[in-house]
Amino acid sequence: MKRTIYILFLLLVPSLFAQNNHVVKTIVSLNVSAVKPIGVFAKNWDTGGGIYLGYGWEYNSKWGVKFQTGYNRYRLKSGSALTESPKLSMWAFQIGGRRYFLAGDIKPFVTVLSGINIIRLIYKIEEKKVDERETHMNFQMGGGVTIALSNSIDLELSVLYNSHLINPSIPYNLTGFESGMGISWKL
């Protein structure tokens, strides 16, 4: 029950803020992305892919707020030490902001998102199946451009840096670059 109250509070506060600050648009978005691991994460995992569903608001054509949830899955690198078809996947739950630099049909932006990832890793070691599930904080930052296709539909292209803090003693030990595209519907 406590968790439900927190979630409702998180959804209510931006909505009230939006009403008081003359929201320009309410936006629903769907993005797909390719993820290229870097750092420690790249030792065993090759490229991955993700899909995100978002809901947010644009204020006075310069600022935006967004909630999003998504799913990422990664492929094993050939020649990896892991065997027996391991799987790595993540569920992301994020909130963040965006700053647009131009008003009009083409709007470049920078964005910052933070939240939690629920990570699942399945592999075998010495004939024993291991199914690890962990929850970790993450953040994304990057930029892109939104291109208006019509009055109610935008195309979005973006490049983001991801960081997932799994072991705080090793800074940014699960990281990657994410490039993606998506469609946004203005309600």
CATH number of the domain that residue 95 is part of: 2.40.160.20
| Structural domains counted in the chain | 1
Domain range enclosing 105:
23-186
Contacts of residue 93, defined as CB under 8 A and 6 or more positions apart, other chains included, come to 68, 69, 115, 116, 117, 118
Among 141, 63, 53, 140, CA closest to 107: 63
Residue 13 lies in a domain: no
Residue 7 lies in a domain: no
Residue 112 lies in a domain: yes
The C-alpha atoms of residue 8 and residue 169 are separated, in whole angstroms, by: 34
Residue 63 lies in a domain: yes
Residue 159 lies in a domain: yes
Contacts of residue 120, defined as CB under 8 A and 6 or more positions apart, other chains included, come to 87, 88, 89, 90, 131, 132, 133
Residue 14 lies in a domain: no
User: Which pLDDT score is estimated for 31?
Assistant: 95
Q: Per residue of the chain (187 residues), give pLDDT as tens.
A: 555 555 555 555 555 555 555 667 889 999 999 988 876 667 777 788 999 999 998 877 788 889 999 998 888 777 666 666 778 888 999 999 899 998 889 999 999 998 888 888 887 777 777 788 888 788 889 999 999 999 899 999 999 988 765 555 554 456 778 899 999 998 8
Residue 85 lies in a domain: yes
Distance set, CA 112 to CA 53, 94, 140 (Å) = 16, 10, 6
Taking phi first (over 0 means left), then psi (-120 to 50 degrees means alpha), and beta for anything else, what does residue 22 get? left
CB-side exposure of 113: number of CA atoms within 13 Å?
26
**pTM metric for this prediction:** 0.80
Residue 92 lies in a domain: yes
User: Which pLDDT score is estimated for 155?
Assistant: 96
User: Which pLDDT score is estimated for 172?
Assistant: 47
Residue 127: count other Cβ atoms within 10 Å of its Cβ.
Answer: 6
